Amino acid sequence: MTIETRGATAFLQWHRWQELELHYDNTYPNAPYLSRANNDDNKFSFELDGWVYFYIDMHRMSGDTRWITLAVNTCQHFIDNNDEARVARGDFILTGSTVGVDRYWQAPYPYTTNGTPVPGWSSNNASAGLPLRVQILIDGQIIGAMASLAGYILDQNITASITDANTFFAHIKRVLDSHNNSWRDDRVSTSPPMTVQGSWYYPERVSGLDQVFSAILAFNHLAGACNAAILYHKHFTDAGLLDKATRFMAFTRSNRVDTGDMYQWAYTVETAGSEDLNHGSYSFTFFMSAKINSLLSFTEEELTKYANATVNAWVGTKVGDLAEKFDGTGVMPVGEIFDPASFVDLAKYNTTLLKIVTEAHAVNSKSQSNYGKMMRGAAAILRYNQIGSLL
């Protein structure tokens, strides 16, 4: 699948990793994590996670261990400011009995009832004054990035950081286990009528029982946790976690539409329309990690059809013009800030994608307020041009 590129182009702000490093040093004399005390407003889940991926790619290009140190310090900051640590310090309390006041409004059972803080990270979901929730999406984005770093350290045998990597993986396992009561195998749904092979669900907010909502979660909500699960299994062998990821991938594969040269899928199985590129990036990060690590039986044909779906979103009326959704509808970016350069590794399966994500990054990144994602995108493109796809 190819598109007419119309000869137009956009230019990247940085052309070598050294230039990106200089920009980072000038802009961030203090590491970004130092200004984020906790996960309020999802600052860990949807901002600092991007910095971890940025640091990994900067190390891939430069070999400079300063980037590993920054990534390790960011992930340690996550652990130092999880809910267990914050409650121990007295940052907030969970010892009462009123849901949403002194008890989690939403969290896996039994954390909603027993006043015990989770090993993960609650958030007010970017709305000040709202009660705290603990969700697999929120935790998953953090531990997915943490697992990517820990796995990279072990794969590259970065000896000075191996102890840190093992510490991170141990905490990742605790966070995943804390959500066990929200996981269901082969759950029968009546709306829509189907059996979900495997998925986490969001816990019931009020009942205080081991119950979950009947609604099936959006595919992308589970991607970070699945990435953490497969990487933990790779390094420590955990058949239960691998089974969860395998079941979820079976659910994902059985609910996409093969149009011949691409896949199309909705945000959830309960909604019409198309997945958007922003949230699809969570899924793609997980897919690419599975392929890189030879897990979950991803094929080149399969990833080619996902790459083609992204190319399908190219509008082409002006440089860097991407649709919001994989079906070509909407205007990107809409609402949530997203850097399409995180898709760059899929260019191995459709070379047009490199031009598309490079131009979309060049055009959109300067107006982005989420610099963690922007810098992740910039490093990913430079790394692709210097080293090639990781796939």
Give 153-210 pLDDT, tens digit per residue.
999 999 999 999 999 999 999 999 999 999 999 999 998 999 999 999 999 877 667 8
Weakest-pLDDT range from 56-65, 332-341, 350-359: 332-341
The per-residue pLDDT for 361 is 87
Per residue, what are the HEC states of the chain? CCCCCCCCCCCCCCCCHHHHHHHHHHHCCCCHHHHCCCCHHHCHHHHHHHHHHHHHHHHHHHCCCHHHHHHHHHHHHHHHCCHHHHHHHCCCCCCCCCECCCECCECCCCCCCCCCCCCCCCECCCCCCCCCECCHHHHHHHHHHHHHHHHHHHHHCCHHHHHHHHHHHHHHHHHHHHCHHHEEEEEEEECCEEEEEEEECCECCCCCCCCECCCCCCHHHHHHHHHHHHHHHHHHCCHHHHHHHHHHHHHHHCCCEECCCCEECCCCCCCCCCCEHHHHHHHHHHHHHHHHCCCCCCCHHHHHHHHHHHHHCECCCCCCCECCECCCCCCCCCCCCCCHHHHHHHHHCCCHHHHHHHHHHHHHHHHCCCHHHHHHHHHHHHHHHHCCCCC
Query: Which tens digits make up the pLDDT trace of 51-71?
Result: 999 999 999 999 999 999 999
CA-based nearest residue to 380, from 367, 366, 354, 364? 354
Give dist(CA 382, CA 388) in Å, integer.
Answer: 9
- Under 8 Å between Cβ of 215 and 267: no
Angle at 261 between CA 255 and CA 265, to 5 degrees: 25
CA end-to-end span of the chain: 19
Is residue 120 within 8 A of residue 142, CB to CB? The reply is yes
The more confidently predicted of residues 210 and 267 is 267
Cβ-in-10-Å burial (0-12, 13-18, 19+) of 318 comes to: exposed
User: For 237-261, what is the mean pLDDT?
Assistant: 98
Could you count the other beta carbons within 10 Å of the beta carbon of residue 215?
13
Angle between helices 223-236 and 136-156 (to 10 degrees): 30
The larger pLDDT score, comparing residue 365 to residue 160, is at: 160
Confidence of residue 2 (pLDDT cuts 50, 70, 90): very low
Structure tokens at 59: 């190390």
pLDDT (average), residues 293-315? 96
What dihedral angle (degrees, nearest 10) is formed by the CA atoms of 298, 3, 323, 24? Answer: 70
Using only the alpha carbons of the chain, give its radius of gyration: 20
Higher-scoring residue by pLDDT: 153, 369: 153
What whole-number percentage of the chain has pLDDT above 70?
91
d(CA 26, CA 21): 9
Predicted TM-score (pTM) of the model is: 0.95
Q: How far apart are CA 88 and CA 256, in angstroms?
A: 45
pLDDT of 336 strictly over 70: no
pLDDT in tens, 279-294: 999 999 999 999 999 9
Provide the token pair at 359: 């131009």
Q: What is the Cα–Cα distance from 112 to 211, expressed in whole angstroms? A: 11
pLDDT digits (tens, 9 = 90+) for 70-111: 999 999 999 999 999 999 999 888 876 666 667 888 899 999
